[in-house]
Chain A
Amino acid sequence: QQQVKQSPQSLIVQKGGISIINCAYENTAFDYFPWYQQFPGKGPALLIAIRPDVSEKKEGRFTISFNKSAKQFSLHIMDSQPGDSATYFCAASWGYGNKLVFGAGTILRVKS
């Protein structure tokens, strides 16, 4: 019940295209859903996050879509660039000060 399932495992997108990564969860106590970007040899960097009181949040080229009834959320990267090539992790948590439960990660490669 604590799991967060992430797909796809890897993704290749042409420059300028839209990258879409999906996550699903079971635990309805989760109320905080961040996405992290990780480059090789670096720590995860917080990219964007959403709470279940909204269905969508946009920051620049990054958008989170959230479907509470389906218990799913997704990351959309518009106008994908080669510099976006990284591993993306979704995560979930609840309240304040609690652990993050991470998805398995998606390796994104943007071809120029």
Chain B
Amino acid sequence: EPEVTQTPSHQVTQMGQEVILRCVPISNHLYFYWYRQILGQKVEFLVSFYNNEISEKSEIFDDQFSVERPDGSNFTLKIRSTKLEDSAMYFCASSARETSNEQYFGPGTRLTVT
């Protein structure tokens, strides 16, 4: 069964450093998303991406964040200058427009900013 994969599973970085989180969505999907989940809290939307451009972004997704689909398979989230409050689980998800908006999530990357 196809699945969304994410790397790395855990990233530790120092405050102010840049991090890139990587995702490989399900191959025939058209919509891509990043969500985050602070420990013990609900899942929050960050950004959606379709046809090589951002469809929607939340208030969390400020100028420090960017997304890119550098090739036909990878989808990345970059945080330019990490802050302590960026520590969270980051989930990539994908969906196929032809179906009922079913979004499939990857296993997540745990980002720890020290």
Chain A interfacial positions (CB closer than 8 Å to B):
32, 34, 36, 41-46, 49, 51, 89, 91, 93, 95-105
Contact = CB atoms under 8 A, between A and B. Distances in A.
B3 to A, nearest CB: 10
Interface in B67-90: none
8 contacts: A43-B107, A51-B100, A89-B42, A93-B101, A96-B31, A99-B33, A99-B56, A104-B42
Chain B contact patch, size range: 20 to 34
B102 interface: yes
A105 B44 CA distance: 12
A103 B42 contact: yes
A110 to B, nearest CB: 20
Interface of B: 4, 30-31, 33, 35, 41-45, 48, 50, 55-56, 58, 91, 95, 97, 100-108
A98 B48 contact: yes
A98 B105 contact: no
A42 B108 contact: yes
Given A97-B55, A99-B48, A42 B103 contact: no
B71 to A, nearest CB: 21
A77 B95 CA distance: 26
Given A96-B97, A97-B55, A99-B33, A45 B44 contact: no
Contacts of A101: 45
Nearest to A93: B101
Contacts of B106: 43
B102 A98 contact: no
A86 to B, nearest CB: 14
A97 B42 contact: no
A97 B50 contact: yes
Nearest to B57: A99
